[in-house]
């Protein structure tokens, strides 16, 4: 490795540690408002960096390394943490690594810390949660620990900012000190020959690498390669490692176990020497007593149901006034634009394209913010891990992880925040399966569509026993959505996202009070990510859809309506004139819709959607509702010439749809067509915002496109089955 | 050793010492790196309300795994929960 040139490069601090070591809290405390988030290229792992000013006035860059239990990796996601500490290809390693460890569970946390120290990186060990450890009667001899691990140790209570000054001093000291050559991690005789074999190859490739780093790399390779999904690993290294593994196995040496065990034996030695505490640590601990209630077969399920109900209430009810407020503001802004900008295509573009597009983006903010307040509190308190523990058995059947439950449930409200919520699932494949299946959950934007169609085709007084047909149909749509979601997850797991059987290896951290500051920073980060990355896509698609629905216009239609308006102005006045004018405007919009690009596409689509029982007018609705499902209602209002202000409760729209006929004079909206339309909406990916947010979260267009393709196919087949099957059964 | 007890067979409150971890490599390695190693003492803390997964206590922290993985963890020195017998005798028949 070449020495870093002495350019004005900002020194870098890497912040590492196990999940639940309190890394996020420390990162927030150090970097404050300077934190920025992005994604590591190609993987769905968040990359967070920020600035920290040292006491001697230097600006440093802080990198939050994703939480990890060790420096070995079998997936590209896990490899991100390894590369942040042991970069490949001559990149300089971090100047200082701060490893956080939970003072109350030192053995397991030291496994990573010792590995990082042994790799020869300038390491500082932060002993977090000292307050909890003290309360539990655990005493740590900090100086002895520093001597045995071979790095400075700083006791911390990151949530209260205790120990931060000492940490700052330690970082400054590490930066000022001369880099010390550290002896490589000791090897037991039984593993030494296999490790040396890999080291010999590594030395040939990079003779300048310090021996400690080289050994760390060799141990990484031996423990990671073989059954991995890593990309970009030198094939020669891979071959060398696999040969060493094969030889070990032929010699009867369990290499993985020997390597890991050797490290734990050293650590157990340290801990025995420096930690004094109660021998029997289990029993009356607070966490254990809370778990007695929260994971209890009856009480636990009850609390679980209550928490999920509250989450639901927040997403549906608490968010409603905020969403209505945003919609009202967007309406005001549109009116203002029409007032200020002279009438014409530009005013329409601004009001119905740009302002509406911005509205389409910010309307999601209340639900995203509320969901993440919940998730952050649940996660920081430790309850989210219990949710996974309690519900895992149900999710396992469809190949999902217990942590997929909260995102799936949130999908009933809106897929956009739900997709963002999949971040809590560590494994990439589990996360993708959840993300691609959950848009099938019947979200609240589908409800207006169901309400309108049910009102049109099923008279309210039609009953089957005690329940109305409409209620039964509505229930069936929700049931269908759940079955489809779970089915899709199971199929995705067995096809495109097939992989090793997902295992649950889940740490249940002690219960802790969530820090409000952390909760707010999580919420702020999620909202910002959404606005910037998904928001631009949503805005762009809104403008495109608006243009498709508005252009081209038929001049002869415009001219004819101009004449009609002039005639009305000459013969009518007052309220009569106003009524006539708005009726004319609605009728003109309806006729123009037929000439627009969307109308033409609708007409072109007609042969394709006719077997579903849909005509070109419904076709326009399908295109427009890609903006958001509920847009179907207002689009049908436009196409039928009733005006776009109509909602699903509007009697004129219902009647117009009920009276609508096909060219042969038969009614368009038969009960079968209504059902087919609803089934189509349950299954179709009619939502550009979901597409945008899946693009953001999966890191490529491949996954959202797959989602749109499979959902559209499913929707088409589902609607076809209803229409054609129904006709065969004579239900038409 | 083939009829040695495995972790999935233990009732709540019982504990045992790990003798071997016989899961597929990726899971075995993850478990071992989290401290489930031969010689480690493990207590079964709880069983989830729906019967699976189970919650373990080892090395001063709590770890949850499914029964299927637990079935690969072979134990020795199993100790039944203290007072389990007394509880069983009290239970109404």
Tell me how far apart the alpha carbons of residues A215 and A120 are, in angstroms, rounded to a whole number: 10
Q: Which of B61, B69, B83 to mutate to test the interface with A (most CBs of A within 10 A)?
A: B61
Parallel/antiparallel/unpaired status of strands A59-64 and A12-17: parallel
What's the average model confidence in pLDDT over A231-249?
Answer: 94
pLDDT at A1: 41
What ranges do the domains of chain A cover?
12-176, 192-276
Contact between chains at B48 and A390 (C-beta distance less than 8 A):
yes
Contact between chains at A72 and B55 (C-beta distance less than 8 A):
no
Q: What is the band of A553 on the pLDDT scale with cuts at 50, 70, 90?
A: confident
What's the average model confidence in pLDDT over A115-131?
Answer: 95
Which residues contact residue A358 at a Cβ distance below 8 angstroms, ignoring those fewer than 6 apart? A330, A539
Contact between chains at A69 and B33 (C-beta distance less than 8 A):
yes
CB A126 within 8 A of CB B50: no
pLDDT at A562: 87
- Tell me the ipTM for this assembly: 0.90
CB A274 within 8 A of CB A141: yes
- B31, B37, B48: residue with CB nearest A393: B48
- B29, B51, B62: residue with CB nearest A508: B62
Residue B26 lies in a domain: yes
Closest listed residue to residue A537, CA positions, set A730, A430, A687, A642: A687
A283 — alpha (psi -120 to 50), left (phi > 0) or beta? left
Contact between chains at A393 and B27 (C-beta distance less than 8 A):
no
Closest listed residue to residue A670, CA positions, set A652, A682, A658, A656: A658
Q: What is the pLDDT along chain B (93 residues), one digit of tens a residue?
A: 567 899 999 999 999 999 999 998 989 999 999 999 999 999 999 999 989 899 999 998 999 999 999 999 999 999 988 665 545 444 443
CATH superfamily ID and name for A12-176:
P-loop containing nucleotide triphosphate hydrolases (3.40.50.300)
Beta bridge pairs of residue A16: A99
pLDDT at B91: 46
What's the average model confidence in pLDDT over A487-510?
Answer: 86
What's the average model confidence in pLDDT over A113-132?
Answer: 95
HEC sequence for A37-83:
EEECCCCCCEEEEEEEECCCCCEEEEEECCCCCCCCCCCHHHHHHHH
Residues 352-371 of A with CB under 8 A from B: none
The answer to whether A104 faces chain B, any CB pair under 8 Å, is yes
**CA dist A23 to A62, A101, A507, B82, Å?**
12, 9, 16, 38
Contact between chains at A393 and B52 (C-beta distance less than 8 A):
yes
Tell me how far apart the alpha carbons of residues A7 and A331 are, in angstroms, rounded to a whole number: 54
CB A454 within 8 A of CB A473: yes
Q: Provide the domain count of chain B.
A: 1
Examine the pLDDT at A732 and tell me if it is beyond 70: no
Q: Which residues of A touch B71 (CB under 8 A)?
A: none
CB A134 within 8 A of CB A155: no
Closest listed residue to residue A506, CA positions, set A615, A614, A424: A424
The answer to whether A505 faces chain B, any CB pair under 8 Å, is yes
Phi and psi dihedrals of A427, rounded to 5? -75, 135
Residue A260 C-alpha, separation from nearest chain B C-alpha, in angstroms: 6
Q: Tokens in use for A672?
A: 């079968």
Range(s) of the domain holding residue B31: 7-81
CB A714 within 8 A of CB A681: no
The answer to whether A206 faces chain B, any CB pair under 8 Å, is no
Phi and psi dihedrals of A334, rounded to 5? -65, -40
Residue B1 lies in a domain: no
Residue B35 C-alpha, separation from nearest chain A C-alpha, in angstroms: 6
The answer to whether A644 faces chain B, any CB pair under 8 Å, is no
CB B54 within 8 A of CB B48: yes
Residue B64 lies in a domain: yes
pLDDT at A708: 96
Nearest CA in chain B to A225: B26
pLDDT tens track for A333-342:
999 998 898 8
CATH code for the domain of B21:
2.30.30.90
pLDDT tens track for A597-610:
988 998 899 999 99
In the three-class reduction of DSSP (H, G, I as helix; E, B as strand; rest coil), residue B62 is classed as strand
Tell me how far apart the alpha carbons of residues B29 and A254 are, in angstroms, rounded to a whole number: 11
CB A38 within 8 A of CB A47: yes
In A253-318, where does DSSP find H-type helix?
A: 255-274, 286-294, 299-313
pLDDT at A652: 78
pLDDT at A371: 87
Contact between chains at B49 and A504 (C-beta distance less than 8 A):
no
pLDDT at A6: 46
Closest listed residue to residue A110, CA positions, set A149, A152, A147: A149
Percent with pLDDT over 70 in chain A: 95
Q: Which residues of A touch B59 (CB under 8 A)?
A: 105, 107-108
DSSP, residue by residue, A614-664: --HHHHHHHHHTTS-TTHHHHHHHHHTTS-TT--TT-HHHHHHHHH-B-TT
Residue B20 lies in a domain: yes
Residue B86 lies in a domain: no
Residue A500 C-alpha, separation from nearest chain B C-alpha, in angstroms: 9
Tell me how far apart the alpha carbons of residues A649 and A656 are, in angstroms, rounded to a whole number: 13
Contact between chains at B60 and A297 (C-beta distance less than 8 A):
no
């Amino acid at each position: 490795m070449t020495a870093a040139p002495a350019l004005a490069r900002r020194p870098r601090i890497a912040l590492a540690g196990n999940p639940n070591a309190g890394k996020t809290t420390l990162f927030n405390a150090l970097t404050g408002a300077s934190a920025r988030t992005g994604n590591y290229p190609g993987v769905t792992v968040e990359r967070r960096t920020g600035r920290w000013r040292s006491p001697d006035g230097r600006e440093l860059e802080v990198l939050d390394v994703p939480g990890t239990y060790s420096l070995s990796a079998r997936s590209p996601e896990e490899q991100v943490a390894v590369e942040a500490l042991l970069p490949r290809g001559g990149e300089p390693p971090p100047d200082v690594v701060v490893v956080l460890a939970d003072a109350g569970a030192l053995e397991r946390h030291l496994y990573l810390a010792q590995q990082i120290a042994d790799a020869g990186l300038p390491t500082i060990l932060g002993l977090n949660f000292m307050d909890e450890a003290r309360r539990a009667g655990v005493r740590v001899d900090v100086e002895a620990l520093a001597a045995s691990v071979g790095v400075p140790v700083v006791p911390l209570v990151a949530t209260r900012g205790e120990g931060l000054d000492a940490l700052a001093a330690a970082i400054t000291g590490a930066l000022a000190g001369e880099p010390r050559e550290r002896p490589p991690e000791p090897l037991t005789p039984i593993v030494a020959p296999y490790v040396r074999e890999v080291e010999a190859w590594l030395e040939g490739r990079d003779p300048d690498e310090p021996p400690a780093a080289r050994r760390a790399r060799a141990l990484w390779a031996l423990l990671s390669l073989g059954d991995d999904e890593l990309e970009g690993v030198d094939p020669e290294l891979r071959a060398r490692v696999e040969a060493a593994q094969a030889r070990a196995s032929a010699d009867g040496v369990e290499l993985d176990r020997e390597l890991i065990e050797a490290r734990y034996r050293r650590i157990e030695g340290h801990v025995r020497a420096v930690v004094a505490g109660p021998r029997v640590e289990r029993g009356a601990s607070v966490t254990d007593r809370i778990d007695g209630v929260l994971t209890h077969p009856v009480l636990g399920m009850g609390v679980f149901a209550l928490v999920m109900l509250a989450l639901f209430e927040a997403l549906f009810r608490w968010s409603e006034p905020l969403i209505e407020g945003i919609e009202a503001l967007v309406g005001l802004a549109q009116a203002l634009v029409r007032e200020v900008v002279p009438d014409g295509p530009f005013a329409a573009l601004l009001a119905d394209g740009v302002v509406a597009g911005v509205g389409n983006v910010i309307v999601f903010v209340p639900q995203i913010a509320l969901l993440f307040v919940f998730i952050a509190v649940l996660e920081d308190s430790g309850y989210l891990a219990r949710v996974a523990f309690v519900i895992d058995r149900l999710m396992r059947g469809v190949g999902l992880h217990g942590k997929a439950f909260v995102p799936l449930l949130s999908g009933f409200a809106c897929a956009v925040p739900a997709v963002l919520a999949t971040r809590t699932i560590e494994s990439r494949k589990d996360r993708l399966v959840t993300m691609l299946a959950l848009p099938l959950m019947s979200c609240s934007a589908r409800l207006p569509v169901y309400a309108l169609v049910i009102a049109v085709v099923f008279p309210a007084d039609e009953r089957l026993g005690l329940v109305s047909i409409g209620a039964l149909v509505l229930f069936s749509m929700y049931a269908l959505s759940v079955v489809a979601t779970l089915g899709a997850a199971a199929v995705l797991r067995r096809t495109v996202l097939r992989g090793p059987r997902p295992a649950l290896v889940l740490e249940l951290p002690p219960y802790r009070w969530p820090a409000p500051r952390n909760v707010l920073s999580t919420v702020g980060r999620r909202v910002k990510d959404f606005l910037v990355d998904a928001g631009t896509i949503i805005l762009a698609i809104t403008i495109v859809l608006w243009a498709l629905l508005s252009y081209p216009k038929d001049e002869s239609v415009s001219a004819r309506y101009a004449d009609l308006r002039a005639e009305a102005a000459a013969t009518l006045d007052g309220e009569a004139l106003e009524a006539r004018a708005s009726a004319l405007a609605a009728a003109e919009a309806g006729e123009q819709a037929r000439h627009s690009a969307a109308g033409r596409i609708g007409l072109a689509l007609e042969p394709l959607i006719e077997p579903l029982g849909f005509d070109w007018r419904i076709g326009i609705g399908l295109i427009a509702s890609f903006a958001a499902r509920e847009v179907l209602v207002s689009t049908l209002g436009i196409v039928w010439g009733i005006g776009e202000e109509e909602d699903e409760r509007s009697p004129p729209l219902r009647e117009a749809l009920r009276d609508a006929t096909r060219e042969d004079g038969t009614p368009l909206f038969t009960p079968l067509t209504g059902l087919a339309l609803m089934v189509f909406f349950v299954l179709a990916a009619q939502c550009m915002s979901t597409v945008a947010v899946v693009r953001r979260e999966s890191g490529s267009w491949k996954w959202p496109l797959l989602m749109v393709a499979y959902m559209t196919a499913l929707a088409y087949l589902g609607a076809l089955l209803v229409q054609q099957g129904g006709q065969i059964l004579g239900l038409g | 050793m083939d009829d040695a007890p495995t972790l999935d067979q233990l009732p709540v409150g019982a504990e045992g010492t790990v003798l071997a971890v016989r899961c597929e490599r990726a899971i075995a390695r993850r478990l071992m790196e989290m401290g489930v190693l031969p010689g480690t003492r493990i207590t079964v803390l709880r069983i989830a309300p729906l019967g699976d997964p189970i919650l373990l206590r080892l090395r001063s922290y709590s770890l949850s795994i499914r029964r299927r993985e637990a079935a690969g963890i072979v134990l020795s020195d199993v100790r039944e929960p203290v007072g389990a017998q007394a509880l069983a005798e009290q239970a109404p028949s």
